[in-house]
Each structure stands twice: as structure tokens, then as C-alpha cells.
Structure 1
């Protein structure tokens, strides 16, 4: 696609410039065959305004009057993409990207979005690089009948709150199911999609049962799926235990390894349960599976759990290893792998989450410390990549929601076989996820902006 980037210049009213007239670089007007001195439509986000274009020998610039800039939500110095469509007589600038954030700390001018503030700044820098504008807004700013949104943007070293049109694209970074399911949030998303054609991606949280049931529909993915069911009763536990020496019970809406229970069948048909908590792992032994179930029954009634086959995973110095693949859509709207990292469980833990003392490693280093042969390690690296893409495409095919990035947790057993652990539709963007010390824009953030630009057809 031909793409032109322009700088927005807001200038006071003059004999040439009023709220219905803009001044555009002569070369750009000629390149896009934009008619001058006649009425066309200028669009930014959801807002449209009839204007006339006059040209001047200025370089890659669009000059607008302050009143028009205010109406459209344009900012001085913004670098945006531009295109003109003759069929609709519309000059579009943008895209305008909105990011839904869980909360705003109004008293904190340096970190208004808490742990994801650095990511939001990085997103702003990526938008400047690729010719887009991004604003951030919490659930309290969403209205079902909204024609605009009050949102935060970052410029000249400071955050400010202004009114913007409804964005071309919205990226859902709400990290709470409670916020996501609020009635007015759902109404807002439904309204902007139907009324303005806004593209919304990473629309919802995925729970563990939903993922496994969806992927089970695709025969080609069965090889990645450990035996796994929504837990229902003791009979199911007994049946699974007869087939697998280790079982996991995972809260279906859990994250960060919280609340996971491991049940191991020991010699003599006794059972050991391990429970994750912030301090480490609590261990409890039971003479029978029935007594273990009775001890767990209180927990199992408070929330829903996924019952999953335990796997004989590769280890590093005796600690379990798994892998997190970040799979994203990019400039052409296709799935690609942005990164895969190894995660080594912390001492005394059987889950690898960083919040539980786990450490990150490159894939080659994580595999090198395992018992796999050199030949197997090479094969496993390729299998991890193939599984990541297969599973992302499977999610897209089987779950009727729009996702632009997925965190896919994979495991490798001692035979070199790759297994799916879970899929996360809200991969972490916190300040502690190894932000580049040199403040460069990470590939994952570039992908988000380029995919947004693709969705907005810029």
C-alpha cells in the first residue's frame, strides 16, 4: 500500500486558514490527486468535517486552524498517515488508536497507568514512528452512546487528558474480567463497532476450558493437547488418576500461577497434593484419593477448575521448564512469532511464572540445560515455533472473537514432544517484563501499531 506520512501544524486564523480550510503540501496533493478549492470530507477517527484544501510549497505538512484541530482532536506536531479516496471524496488522516486500560492513578503524573505506564510511552513512540496517534482510557470514560472519548495522551514529556473522536482501532488491555464485563463497557464496544466500524482486538479474556474445548474441535491440534476437562466430580478425578500419575487442577480464570493444585500418586497408592501460594508451595499427603478429594472439596466449590493431565517435563537443575511464545499479527494481518522465551520454575515451585520466582532464559539455553540430546534440541526449537503458529490459527478459527496477540504457554516432555499448557489473551505489559534498557521500541510494540494501522486500512 502507498503510504504518506504528514506532520500536523496548528496555526492561528488567517486570511487563508479558517475552520473550513486546510493547507496541504503541494507535492502530497498532487501525488494523491486531491482536489483543491472545492468541498471534500476530512476524517480523523470517527469525526468528519467538510473542508476545502489549498496547497502551498511546504514539506509533508497539513496546516489546520485551532478550532478545527480541537473539533477533530488533532495535536500539534502529530505525525499521521494520510490517504485520499476519490470514490468517497474523503481525505483521511490517522489512524487513531485507542487503548483500554484498567485504571488511571490521577494523583501520579509520572505513572498514571501504574505498572504499564512505560509500555504506554513506548506505544506512543511507536505511533510517532509509524504515523499514528494513540490515546488511553479506562472503563469510566466509556459510554454506550458515546460520540467521543475523554482519553490520555503523552506529548512533550507529560500526560494530558483531552477529548478525542472514537478511534479507528481499539486495543483491549483491560486486565480484569470484572471491568471487561461491565455493562457500559460492553455497550460501548458494541456501539463503536456497529456505528463507526471501529475494529476492536483482544476483545476478551480466554479461560482454560474454553481454549481446550475449542482446539479439540480441530483434529490437527490434538497432538498438542494434554487430556483436560472442566472439573465436575470425584468420578472424573478418579478416572483421570487411573490414567495419569500426576494431575493438575487449575482455576479456569486464574493467572500468574495462582491457586494451582498438583496431585501426585505415590507408591502404595497414597497421594501428595502441592498447593501454590505467594510464599512457595504447601505440601499435604493423603492415604487415599478419596481423602484427598474430601480435603479439596471446599476449594473446588468456590471456583471452577480445569483438570489436566500432568506431564513429564524437561527440567533445568531439577526445576521444571516451560516456554512462552508471543504470537502477534503484524503489518499484513498475518500471525507471526515475535518471541519465544524459556521460563525456569523458582526453587520450591512447580510453576514457572515470574511472579512465583521463575527466571527467563533463551530457548537454546533452556534446552541446553535439559537431558535432551543436541539433535532433539534442534528439532524441539522448530516444534515450538510450529506449535505456536498452529495454536494461534486454531484459536482464530474456533473462537469467534478478534485477537491480535496471544501469549501461548508450551511445555516439552522428556521425549521432545511439545504440549500446550494455556493461552493468554492479555500477555503482560508491566514495567517488570524486561523493558529495553536503551529505551528502544520493542518488536512486540511495533507489531501492535503496525497491525492497528493494517486494520484501519492506512
Structure 2
């Protein structure tokens, strides 16, 4: 039975009892909802017995203010309704919980700092599709997994008590927060106790990804040679094999701490290290001296050593591509967007946080150093690579993912390579948000929520 989008009307105190739900008589007849028996009303983890009363010429639902308060529902909320006859359940929802790293209660206009615009866009998108969304942080998680203190948007932002959601979307931007015992316990409890879905439930590290999908023959052609960096012998072997190699922190992000190693004439080696203000260059007379300088860093940071690639350039600056790949209304992977990222003048990495600039794929390819006969095929190659890699990571790594940011490179021959897979793609890399506009990436999150929750 398909769900129906309805408006919830909350009655003034004293008009309705908390165990009464008023529904339009047309819907009652259409769905054959019994009015002589108590039914179970469900909203996320919330359960309550109600008696349904029909009302002519009404296509919404009316409930008491007391019942709405227990559910955390706001006035004039747009929700979807399903009747499940086999369990005599009226299900309102779906309920989507967004787990964020921090909030700023002292600033009710922008309670999530830079993420507030993204959250407001989610609220608008949810309202249009009849999804109820709330936002919470690890600090809002209490002793009971069945109830969360979270932020909702009605007439401005406010905090209230809410049931565990049907679907949770993990937007934590810190591994430390994600690994907190309270967060891990909460994720486990809501999944096992309430059947909640929790997507993007974990960070990925570079070694984990390359080792996992390296076993999949369908994506091996996209993988540059890559290993967990362990010792001098490995450095020597890789530097003998490739003129350029990269050391990448396996838990790194935003291009921070990446080291580019290249051979110079006469047996010397050069390192370029990505830093906040630019690139730090150092020269070593031999590989032994270079390894000695790395040894201190290796005690604090684990690195992936990776084959260097001869990337296409725009205006003598390297270019890579960020594909956003998401699951859709059918639970299938599809490519939502691909953008080109051109490195800043003082950097060899293309991240926006390191001075990189965005471009359309079409424009970057047209301006690139690619041979003319190769240019026309690159866009479709990037799209196929992104989908192949997303499906492989999803199949090979035992966790629930709903979206990936996949960083791809194109060599001067036109070959596409994988650089990195990110399970927490930035929401600042996309196009600016116009007033009332919903980006396809946000719409896709809502559609996947509806797929998971059965609405």
C-alpha cells in the first residue's frame, strides 16, 4: 500500500483525548481502516494505542496537543501516513534523524554554525516530501536509545524530545566523536531494538578501501599501486618503480599532510608537503636521509604509499574530479554530480581548503592538456568509474553507506584512476544554495530515506 502525504493539525488542549486520532472518512473507506477497534499509532520508535474517528471532507489528520507533544510533532507538519492492516498499525513518518558534530544553543538563528544552511535546506526538502527531520549531536544522546533531545524547525529553531528515528544519517565530521562509546552504543541499540537504519555509519581509511576493493576484479583497473607504508624497503621499491610517489595519511582529509616524493638528478630526492599556507619543499641527498626524516612522522601518523600519477593540467595546475555518488529512491547507486577541482597556485593538491577552485567537468576537460581525440570520452569514463567504485566499496566493506565522495584522477593518456573514497563528503563542495532551492544531493538523501523506511 503506498503512503499518502497529509498535514497534521494539532488541536487546542481539551478538545481531543490523547488516545483519539481524527482522519478523513474518504481515507478510512479507501484503506478500510477499522474505527471500532483500537489501533497502534507508530512514529519512529514511538508507539501509542488510538481510536480512529472519521471526519467528512477532511484529508489530513487531527490529534491532541498532548499526543503531539509526546511524539515531538510540530504544528502543520507535512508527514506521510501508511496503514498496515496485518499489524493494525497506522504509521506516521518517515522520521529522519541527522547526527551532527556540534550545535550552538546560544545562537538560535544559526544553531549549527556553517552547517545551518544545509540543515535548513534539508528541512525544506523533507517538508516537500512529507518527511519529518530532526538534528542532534552526541551530547543529545541520553540513557534511553528510544528518545533523543534534538533540534526541529517550525517557526524558528527549537529543541524538543523526539523518538528514535526510522532512518539516521551520520554527518559526524570527526572520527573521535564517531568512536565515542555513547555514539557506538546508540547506533547499535536503535538498529537492534527499533529496526532503525543508520547510513554512512563509519569513516573509511585509505588502506581499508584499497585493500577491500583490490580483491574486486571489476575495479582493479582504477587502482594505482598502493600499500600501507611500513618500512625503508617499501619506500625504496616504490621509488625505484615510479618517478613520483605519494604518502597519504590513512585517516587524513582535506589534503592535509600529503607528501609528494620525486627523484632529482644525481640520486637526490625532493619532498613537497601539503600545509595550510602552501607547500613545504625539502631536498635530501639520498633516500636513506629522506626515510630518516619520515621516521618521526610515522610514529604519530600511519601513511598509505601510492603510485604517483601524471595528471592532466589546466594552466599548469593539476586537476582531479570529485564525484558524489548516492543511493536513490530504489536503493540503487547513481552519480548525482561530478565537479573538477583545479589545484591552487601554491599547492599540488586540489582540495578547496588548500586554495583549489571548482570547475565543470566539461570546461576543465576542454582547457586541459588532454589530446583532442581523448577529450570526448572522459566524462562518461568518470561516471562509470564512480559507479563501479561505489558499488565495489559497498559490497566489500561491511557497513551501511548511502553516499560517497569519490576522488578520481585522469592521466594524460585519458586513463581514469581512483585517488580516494570519502564516506563523509563535504556539503560545502557543492554549488551555492539559492533561497528555497533544493540541490539534487539533498533531494537524494530524502528519497533514500523514504526507500529505507518503506514510505
TM over 0.5: yes
For residues 59 and 412 of structure 1, what CA distance do their matches in structure 2 show?
58
For residues 57 and 321 of structure 2, what CA distance do their matches in structure 1 show?
51
Q: Equivalent residue for 2:4? A: 4
Deviations 1:10-36 (A, max 9, x none): 002556x21111111122222222111
The reply on whether 1:223 has 2:216 as its aligned counterpart is no
Once the two structures are TM-superposed, the CA of residue 222 in structure 1 deviates from its matched residue by: 0.8
Is the Cα–Cα contact under 8 Å of residues 221 and 390 in structure 1 kept in the other structure? Answer: yes
* Secondary structure of 2:161 counterpart: strand
For residues 219 and 9 of structure 2, what CA distance do their matches in structure 1 show?
52
Relative to the length of structure 1, the TM-score reads: 0.97
Once the two structures are TM-superposed, the CA of residue 60 in structure 1 deviates from its matched residue by: 2.4
Q: Equivalent residue for 1:83? A: 82
For residues 358 and 34 of structure 2, what CA distance do their matches in structure 1 show?
56
Pairwise mapping of residues 57-136 of structure 1 onto structure 2 (< 5 A)? Answer: 57-136=56-135
Deviations 1:432-454 (A, max 9, x none): 74322344011100000110111
* Secondary structure of 2:212 counterpart: helix
For residues 367 and 220 of structure 1, what CA distance do their matches in structure 2 show?
26
For residues 66 and 327 of structure 2, what CA distance do their matches in structure 1 show?
37
* Secondary structure of 1:87 counterpart: helix
Q: Equivalent residue for 1:283? A: 281
For residues 442 and 60 of structure 1, what CA distance do their matches in structure 2 show?
30
Q: Which moved more, 1:372-381 or 1:390-399?
A: 372-381
Q: Equivalent residue for 1:180? A: 178
Once the two structures are TM-superposed, the CA of residue 173 in structure 1 deviates from its matched residue by: 0.5
Is the Cα–Cα contact under 8 Å of residues 28 and 60 in structure 1 kept in the other structure? Answer: yes
Q: Which moved more, 1:24-33 or 1:382-391?
A: 24-33
Residue of 306, 309, 326 corresponding to 2:324: 326
Is the Cα–Cα contact under 8 Å of residues 37 and 54 in structure 1 kept in the other structure? Answer: no
Q: Show structure 1 runs of 5+ residues with no match.
A: none
Deviations 1:93-122 (A, max 9, x none): 100100000011111112111111100000
Is the Cα–Cα contact under 8 Å of residues 5 and 60 in structure 1 kept in the other structure? Answer: no
For residues 242 and 218 of structure 1, what CA distance do their matches in structure 2 show?
27
For residues 203 and 143 of structure 2, what CA distance do their matches in structure 1 show?
21
Is the Cα–Cα contact under 8 Å of residues 229 and 305 in structure 2 kept in the other structure? Answer: yes
* Secondary structure of 2:405 counterpart: strand
Is the Cα–Cα contact under 8 Å of residues 32 and 83 in structure 1 kept in the other structure? Answer: no
For residues 423 and 80 of structure 2, what CA distance do their matches in structure 1 show?
29
Change (3 A) 1:455 1:97: same
Q: Show structure 2 runs of 5+ residues with no match.
A: none
For residues 446 and 362 of structure 1, what CA distance do their matches in structure 2 show?
21
The reply on whether 1:52 has 2:34 as its aligned counterpart is no
Q: Equivalent residue for 2:437? A: 440
* Secondary structure of 1:220 counterpart: coil
Residue of 233, 236, 242 corresponding to 1:235: 233
After the TM superposition, which parts of structure 1 deviate over 3 Å for at least 4 consecutive aligned residues? none
* Secondary structure of 2:218 counterpart: helix
RMSD: 1.2
For residues 191 and 437 of structure 1, what CA distance do their matches in structure 2 show?
38
For residues 221 and 232 of structure 1, what CA distance do their matches in structure 2 show?
25
For residues 32 and 373 of structure 1, what CA distance do their matches in structure 2 show?
62
Relative to the length of structure 2, the TM-score reads: 0.98
For residues 190 and 169 of structure 2, what CA distance do their matches in structure 1 show?
13
Once the two structures are TM-superposed, the CA of residue 372 in structure 1 deviates from its matched residue by: 1.7
Q: Equivalent residue for 2:350? A: 352
Once the two structures are TM-superposed, the CA of residue 72 in structure 1 deviates from its matched residue by: 1.8
The reply on whether 1:295 has 2:290 as its aligned counterpart is no
Is the Cα–Cα contact under 8 Å of residues 323 and 406 in structure 2 kept in the other structure? Answer: yes
Is the Cα–Cα contact under 8 Å of residues 124 and 436 in structure 2 kept in the other structure? Answer: no
Q: Equivalent residue for 1:454? A: 451
Once the two structures are TM-superposed, the CA of residue 373 in structure 1 deviates from its matched residue by: 3.1
Q: Equivalent residue for 1:37? A: 36
Once the two structures are TM-superposed, the CA of residue 360 in structure 1 deviates from its matched residue by: 0.3
Once the two structures are TM-superposed, the CA of residue 395 in structure 1 deviates from its matched residue by: 0.6
Is the Cα–Cα contact under 8 Å of residues 4 and 80 in structure 2 kept in the other structure? Answer: yes
The reply on whether 1:150 has 2:119 as its aligned counterpart is no
* Secondary structure of 2:219 counterpart: helix
Tell me how many residue pairs correspond in the alignment: 455
For residues 88 and 283 of structure 1, what CA distance do their matches in structure 2 show?
67
Once the two structures are TM-superposed, the CA of residue 380 in structure 1 deviates from its matched residue by: 1.1
* Secondary structure of 2:251 counterpart: coil
